[in-house]
């Protein structure tokens, strides 16, 4: 650990013990800061717990494209669609919708920003994985992204997949027979699709978070398990009021996912961050090796992944309040898709849902609070929080230190929404 610098005397609070908060804390600790993580849950038990485990290096295309606009009403009208909006959440979605429309005009700008961040993701991951001895939790072998029809494959060849290839993503098209050779346990729901050979995945998102947290604490970090009720900028720093007491720090990083919205509102910063809820089901497997890599069914926007000697089917984009009850229809849809992918003879071991923090332009918010550079924001990663966690933590640390950043941070600044 680097301790021989001018930062060792500064105390920083990181609100959020998910993979973004943990990564930020590790990079700050590595730079020599004294860091405290505060979260009401144990490390990795929020949205970071429920993801599909895919380190999606291929994800560099924002969703904010004009060609998506006519598709949205059809998706919302279809009960089996992965996209839904709770009627009670519509008022919160209005500013988001306005900024989504505006972001469509900046699509190429956002695409380049996301590509730049992805270009530093692998090396940033390696730093944290090597530092925390977490490499055993990461598997290689690529992933598959499949379509049910040949028509969809042909469209992809001249559409999204061609765009990804032009951005440097390594991929190859595979037909039905090649998919069957790679993953013989799958039912023949697919016509073929895409193979991403360089993609990695974690076999346990929660264990990866715990690995990071263990290293953080063993190297002097502190974790406070408590609810944050209020944050406030003070003359010489920031205060964080929890249920039990008020803590004072020199600097603050807000990496609390969807819950960040309430905190930044208290600081007078109104950003169009919304809650996009995802679901997963765990499927028991008598043969843990029956699925060797993550498999996406692109028509349904779901990922089937080998997780902790079982299989996890994850997906859905439900815009709803963080604390709203689960929607049974989403779980039912996942179970129906699981049967199409694996057959009728499957058994479910658990169900889960959680809230992703979503931005209108589908790229994260990483940057200082416009009114006070003692507060740094790191949230809004949507579906690629795990993928961009390490590079986000690295960028947070560089911004706090005031050194040259690994990528241009300007596109990720919260100022783009103000």
Q: Residue 287: what pLDDT?
A: 61
Q: Which pLDDT value is given to residue 1?
A: 44
CA–CA separation, 134 vs 113, rounded Å? 28
pTM for the predicted model, two decimal places: 0.96
Distance of CA 176 to the CA centre of its chain: 30
Q: How do beta strands 200-202 and 138-139 pair?
A: antiparallel
Domains for the chain: give ranges and CATH numbers.
11-49+206-271+362-417 (3.50.50.60), 66-105+135-202+274-358 (3.30.9.10)
Residue 278 near residue 322 (C-beta atoms within 8 A): no
- CA gap 54, 199 in Å, rounded: 8
User: Which residue, among 48, 44, 55, has the nearest Cα to 118 in the 3D structure?
Assistant: 55
Full DSSP string of 131-170: HHT-GGGEE-S-EEEEESSHHHHHHHHHTHHHHHHHTT--
Is residue 201 within 8 A of residue 163, CB to CB? The reply is no
Q: What is the pLDDT of residue 290?
A: 86
Q: How far apart are CA 171 and CA 223, in angstroms?
A: 41
- Burial per residue of 13-48, b for 16 or more beta-carbon CB atoms within 10 angstroms, e otherwise: bbbbbbbbbbbbbbbbbbbbbbbbbbbbeebbbbbb
**C-alpha span between 41 and 406 (Å, rounded):** 31
Residue 25, CB half-sphere, CA atoms under 13 Å: how many? 33
Sequence-distant (≥ 6) Cβ neighbours of residue 264 within 8 angstroms = 254, 270, 271, 273, 369, 377
pLDDT of residue 148: 98
- The residues facing 353 across adjacent strands are 279
Distances (CA, A) of 385 to 143, 227, 391: 18, 22, 10
Q: Which pLDDT does position 68 carry in this prediction? A: 93
Q: Output the DSSP codes for 30-42.
A: HHT-EEEEEESS-
pLDDT, one tens digit for every residue, the chain (418 residues): 444 456 667 999 999 999 999 999 999 999 999 999 999 999 999 999 999 999 999 999 999 999 999 999 999 999 999 999 999 999 999 999 999 999 999 999 999 999 999 999 999 999 999 999 999 999 999 999 999 999 999 999 999 999 999 999 999 999 999 999 999 999 999 999 999 999 999 999 999 999 999 999 999 999 999 999 999 999 999 999 999 999 999 999 999 999 999 999 999 999 999 999 999 999 987 765 589 999 999 999 999 999 988 999 999 999 999 999 999 999 999 999 999 999 998 999 999 999 999 999 999 999 999 999 999 999 999 999 999 999 999 999 999 999 999 999 999 999 999 9
Beta strands in 188-272 (DSSP E): 192-196, 200-202, 222-225, 228-234, 237-242, 246-249, 251-254
User: What CA–CA distance (Å, rounded) separates 236 from 334?
Assistant: 50
């Amino acid at each position: 650990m680097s301790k021989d610098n001018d930062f060792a005397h500064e105390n920083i609070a990181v609100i959020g013990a998910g993979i973004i908060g943990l990564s930020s804390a590790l990079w700050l600790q590595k730079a020599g800061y004294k860091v405290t993580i505060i979260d009401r849950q144990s490390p990795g038990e929020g949205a970071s717990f429920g993801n599909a485990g895919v380190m999606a290096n291929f994800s560099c295309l924002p969703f904010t494209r004009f060609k998506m606009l006519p598709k949205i009403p059809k998706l919302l009208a279809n009960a089996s669609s992965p996209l839904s909006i709770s009627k009670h959440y519509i008022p919160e979605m209005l500013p988001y919708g306005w900024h989504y429309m505006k972001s469509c005009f900046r699509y190429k700008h956002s695409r380049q920003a996301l590509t730049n961040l992805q270009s530093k993701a692998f090396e940033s991951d390696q730093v944290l994985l090597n530092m925390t001895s977490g490499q055993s939790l990461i598997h290689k072998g690529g992933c598959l992204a499949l379509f049910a029809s040949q028509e969809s494959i042909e469209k992809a060849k001249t559409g999204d997949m061609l765009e990804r290839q032009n951005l440097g993503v390594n991929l190859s098209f595979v037909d039905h027979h090649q998919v069957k050779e790679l993953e013989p346990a799958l039912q023949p729901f697919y016509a073929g699709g895409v193979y991403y050979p360089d993609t990695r995945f974690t076999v346990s998102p929660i264990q990866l978070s715990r690995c990071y947290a263990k290293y953080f604490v063993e190297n002097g970090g502190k974790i406070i398990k408590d609810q944050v009720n209020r944050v406030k900028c003070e003359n010489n720093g920031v205060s964080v009021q929890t249920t039990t007491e008020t803590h004072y720090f020199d600097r603050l990083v807000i990496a609390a996912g969807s819950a960040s919205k309430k905190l930044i509102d208290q600081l007078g910063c109104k950003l169009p961050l919304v809650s996009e809820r995802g679901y997963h089901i765990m499927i028991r497997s008598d043969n843990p090796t029956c699925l060797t890599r993550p498999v996406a069914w692109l028509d349904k926007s779901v990922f089937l992944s080998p997780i902790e000697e079982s299989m996890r089917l994850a997906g859905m984009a439900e815009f709803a309040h963080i604390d709203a009850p689960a929607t049974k229809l989403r779980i039912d849809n996942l179970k129906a898709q699981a049967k199409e992918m694996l057959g009728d003879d499957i058994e479910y071991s658990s169900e889960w849902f959680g809230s992703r923090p979503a931005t209108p332009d589908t790229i994260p918010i990483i940057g200082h609070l416009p009114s006070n550079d003692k507060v740094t924001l790191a949230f809004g990663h949507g579906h690629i929080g795990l993928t961009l966690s390490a590079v986000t933590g690295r960028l947070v640390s560089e911004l706090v230190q005031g050194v040259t950043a690994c990528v241009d941070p300007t596109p990720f600044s919260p100022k783009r929404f103000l």
